[in-house]
Structure 1
Amino acid sequence: MPRYKRTYLSGDISAGLTVGIMLIPQGMAYAMIAGLPPVYGLYAALIPQIIYAIMGTSRQIAIGPVAMDSLLIASGLGALSISGIENYIAMAIFLSLFIGTIQILLGFLKMGFLVNFLSRPVISGFTSAAALIIGISQLKHLLGISISSNKTLPILKQTFSQLDQINPLAVVVGLSGIGIMLLLKRIHSQIPTAIVVVILGIAMAYFTPITDYGLQLVGKIPEGLPGFKVPEIPWSELGQLFTLALAMALIAFMEVVSIGKALEEKVKTSRLVPNQELIALGTGNIVGSFFQCYPTTAGFSRTAVNFQAGAKTGVAALISAALVGLTLLFLTPVFYYLPNAILASIIMLAITSLIDLKYPKELYKNQKDEFALLIVTFLITLFVGIQEGIILGVLFSLLLMVYRTSKPHMAVLGQIKGTTYFKNVNRFATDIIERKDILVVRFDAQLFFGNKDYFYSELNKHIMSKGPQLKTVIINAEAINYIDSSAIYILKHLILELREKDILLMIAAATGPTRDILFKTGVTEMLGPENLFVRVVEAVEFIDGIHPRTEIEDRVSRQSF
């Protein structure tokens, strides 16, 4: 605020009003996804926005209720034995306190890097499946039927069993809402389409007798701002809630970071600080829980609108929160007449932006293993469960990483004619000087217990293929950034084994930290310090007697702490 410029004000006012208008119907719709009364979506749009405006490191991110978190709440709490809507609401509010506590702890412990374990294929598969689940969960409002489950297959089964009970009026109202929003977007992208269909839906329900034909309305919404209330702590359910809270804490953080990083490319004035973002999110959720808010995070669509409408600082968020507050104070009676089918239409149109088809196509063409990871995450999320999808998706991505590190790339190198370059013989076969007496290999990974056996067996294959004329093996260690104790044992065994066959082992291009390990563990002593080289070409020229080692080459090759 001390550096606030008057020129920022017009953009902040415009963005704040636009996002506030967008947030009112969205918040109510997302509360419905979470299984909460619509007013709790408006509560969640108040305090967390204000906290983030003060503590967050991005000036454009829009905080509030989002579809993904709302679905996770419905899925996670739906699996518990909760009796009565009051207990369900209390559990959702406590979840905000629990998630906020986890986020603040992660922030203070500098654990922001944990979000890196959510790989893009897992995120894409999970998000697309979650979007479909959100859409499917709204079928009951769009069709005017009653569905008790929040799982994909049971929802579809119950829907098909009630096809004869569909309310045609609800279908017409819902599809009309979607059609109007699509039409308005084509006319002008800045039109607040959601608030327009909300106004039309309320007017239609108020001035016409359509409610006489079974059209479900939102009903009475409590007036006034949320009061201060200490969340109830369900001690007996803490263990079951921990997995859900941790998953939601990380997913919420992931959403903030991914949105913030995208904004950084367009706005050069501010940089996202991940650990501070965790603290800001956590504080918003904790303080919000004392004012009846359920968990919140950054919204993709609202942030995009906030940025496009000209938001320059967090003042825009304060204006959005003020508009929501005014709505709670004076306009809640109006929303009594809002049809549920209209809110369902807003949700179903919003989720289309979450379904990504382009990225899976790219993976299928270029990286089949990551495509398989995406599909597995998608199917588990869609048909087994939200929590299972994200947890197993992360687990499978880590297993894929372990598999890759256990069998990394290993290349046989040869000298390109007329140069000092040593390159992969499979890529430059016709340009390589063939040598039967020298084998040069490059191992493109750290050498540790998970791949030491692979390294040993592959090296032996290449040694066998060279035949009896082989006299020297040179390991190009430029890509080996670490060697653990298990791999050190293999290296020592290899030195002795090759020595028995009258084959000399040399190591070239090792980085400083790798050389330190070789010296400290006694590998260099067993190998002979004279068999360490800065470059592969120096080792080959030394073998051929073309270029004796200079003093500086000798000193650099042996340098270690």
Structure 2
Amino acid sequence: MNVKHYLPLLDWLPGYGRSQAVSDLVAAVIVTVMLIPQSLAYALLAGLPAQVGLYASILPLAVYAVFGTSRTLSVGPVAVASLMTAAALAPLADAGTVEYLVGAVVLASLSGLMLMAMGLLRLGFLANFLSHPVISAFITASGIVIAASQLKHILGVEASGHNLLEILNSLADSIGQTNVATAAVGVGALAFLLVARKRLNPLLRAAGLTSRLADILTKTAPILAVLVTTLLAWQLNLGAQGVKLVGQVPAGLPSLALPSLDWGLWQQLAVSALLISVVGFVESVSVGQTLAAKRRQRIDPDQELIGLGAANVSAGLSGGMPVTGGFSRSVVNFDAGAETPAAGAFTAVGIALATLYLTPAIAYLPQATLAATIMVAVATLIDLPALARTWRYSRPDFG
């Protein structure tokens, strides 16, 4: 067995220089700032405690740096996988219970084992046979459902539902109970993030910043929304006014433990794990290939299966949730100048430090801010014009 084939780290580590280390370290700082609110938000989206998102952004990032072939792909919780996790676990247990958390850990472990098995069997080529219209439509629909599911947090109302129609009906029934303070925080954060996405970049360039720096600062705007609303919640005691806060997040690194070996639970989650694995792999490979092509690099789909699989297994061992390569964080990592997978390892260290020392401040973070962050992030997933493009290209594909 050629160990070097399964450990891409060995290819670039011998030539790792000071300039690369500086570039990777700068990129890691920027991505860490972006990842903290995203990780918290996606954990809550999946119905899990906020710290689970942080746990899923530590060891998996470091493990992918060893086994993955993309130099700039950033692995962690993502919107679509979080939604699929919530859908898979909802029939088994109530969100927030120990059983629910155990199920998430099993789901990550099972998905990881499936991905690694597919990689060892050299099944990476199957990604070429997956229908692009189907994947595009699935991700678009998921983005719409995710955005709709966050409106209850923006408005501060109780609403539920497993599909778009149920969610909208539930929101319509409870709209009269909107919490004014929550809506002010949620709508304000949402408006700021939308304006920042469209207007901040040209404003920064007009102020004299380089295009690259302006792009990076624009993409890290969510952390400013987090800081401002957290300070407001603390100073104005918004929790007493009905604004739901993230609450106390346990400080400290995750402990390593084997997932539950309940065979019945593994059987129940097998199909969901397979779906999460396939969708996650396609998303990761698409992002990885796009970024690699910009630098005339290549990725190995078979090794990517092993890398993503190992990352998910490590997420299961460290009390995390299913992970995959994220589009927004990978683009930020690329734009920030990351040159090797070491940037991911440095980011893991940054998230670990945040988990150790910054969790007391996270307690005052309004859930409405995280909901706004999710809604703006998933907006990039929604591609309704693809329907028209597919119709012009192929009627069967459109169907």
State TM-score, norm by structure 2: 0.90
Contact 2:24–2:340 (Cα < 8 Å) also in 1: yes
Q: CA RMSD in A?
A: 1.4
CA distance in 1, matches of 2:96, 2:386: 42
Per the alignment, residue 219 of structure 1 pairs with: 247
In structure 1, C-alpha distance between the alignment counterparts of 2:390 and 2:190, rounded to whole Å = 32
2:334 is aligned to 307
Larger RCO of the pair (alpha carbons < 8 Å, separation 6+): 2
Which residue is equivalent to 1:145?
Answer: 157
Question: Which residue of structure 2 lines up, in the alignment, with residue 116 of structure 1?
Answer: 128
Say whether 1:187 aligns with 2:200: yes
Show CA shifts across 1:117-141 (max 9, x none): 3211001110100001111111221
Aligned to 2:361, which of 334, 340, 343?
334
Alignment-derived partner of residue 246 in structure 1: 274
Q: Answer with 65-74 or 253-262: which moved more.
A: 253-262
Task: Quote the Cα distance in structure 2 between the aligned partners of 1:200 and 1:83.
Answer: 29
Counting only pairs closer than 5 Å after superposition, residues 370-519 of structure 1 correspond to structure 2 as: 370-372=397-399
| Contact map agreement 1:91 1:234 (CA 8 A) in 2 | no
Q: How many residues align?
A: 371
Partner of 1:47: 59
* Equivalent position amino acid for 2:32 in 1: G
Q: Deviations over 1:312-336 (max 9, x none)?
A: 0012111211111111111100000
d(CA) in 2 for partners of 1:170 and 1:55? 43
Q: Is 1:273 the counterpart of 2:300 in the alignment?
A: yes
* Equivalent AA in structure 1 for residue 222 of structure 2: A
**Following the alignment from structure 1 to structure 2, what is the Cα–Cα distance between the partners of residues 84 and 140?**
18
User: How far is the alpha carbon of 1:252 from its aligned partner?
Assistant: 1.1
2:22 matched to which residue of 1?
A: 10
| Deviation, structure 1 residue 181 | 2.0
Task: Kindly provide the amino acid, as one letter, of the partner of residue 293 in structure 1.
Answer: G
Deviations 1:11-41 (A, max 9, x none): 2122111111100000000001100011110
| Alignment partner, residue 551 of structure 1 | none
CA distance in 2, matches of 1:352, 1:101: 31
Q: Are 1:34 and 2:46 counterparts?
A: yes
Please tell me whether the aligned partners of residues 159 and 174 of structure 2 are also in contact (alpha carbons under 8 angstroms).
no
User: For 1:330 and 1:238, how far apart are their aligned partners in 2?
Assistant: 35
Unaligned runs of at least 5 residues, structure 1 = 373-561
**Which structure's residues are more often helix, by fraction?**
2
Shift of 1:264: 2.5
Tell me the amino acid that sits aligned with residue 286 of structure 1. V
| 1:306-325 matched pairs, under 5 angstroms | 306-325=333-352
**Contact in 2 for aligned 1:137/1:150 (Cα 8 Å):** no
Higher share in strand:
1
Q: In the alignment, residue 179 of structure 1 is paired with which amino acid?
A: A
| Contact 2:112–2:311 (Cα < 8 Å) also in 1 | yes
**Structure 2 counterpart of 1:133:** 145
SS in structure 1 at match of 2:15: coil
* Aligned partners of 2:92 and 2:100 also within 8 Å: no
Q: Are 2:173 and 1:161 equivalent residues in the alignment?
A: yes
Counterpart residue type for residue 214 of structure 1: G
Normalised to the residue count of structure 1, the TM-score between the two structures is: 0.64
- Match for residue 347 of structure 1 among 367, 374, 378: 374
* Residue 520 of structure 1: aligned partner: none
Q: CA deviation at 1:147?
A: 2.5
Which letter does structure 2 place at the counterpart of 1:209? N
Q: Deviations over 1:197-242 (max 9, x none)?
A: 0000110001113322211100010010001122113322333211
Shift of 1:150: 3.3
Distance 2:196 2:168 in 1: 31
Match of 1:174 in 2: 186
Show the counterpart of 1:496. none
Counterpart AA for 2:195: L
Structure 2 partner of 1:285: 312
User: What is the DSSP-based 3-state SS (H/G/I as helix, E as strand, rest coil) of the residue aligned with 1:337?
Assistant: coil
2:257 partner SS? coil
CA distance in 1: counterparts of 2:226 and 2:167, whole angstroms: 26
Partner letter of residue 247 of structure 1? L
Residue 197 (structure 1) aligned with residue 225 (structure 2): yes
- In the alignment, is the contact (CA less than 8 A) between 2:47 and 2:95 conserved in 1? no
Q: Is the 8 A contact 1:49 1:63 kept in 2?
A: yes
Identity of aligned residues (%): 39
Q: Where does structure 1 differ by over 4 angstroms across 4 or more consecutive aligned residues?
A: 81-84
**Which position in structure 2 is the counterpart of 1:367?**
394
1:103 aligns with 2:115: yes
Whichever of the two has the greater Rg, that structure is 1
Single out whichever of 204-213 and 358-367 deviates more from structure 2: 358-367
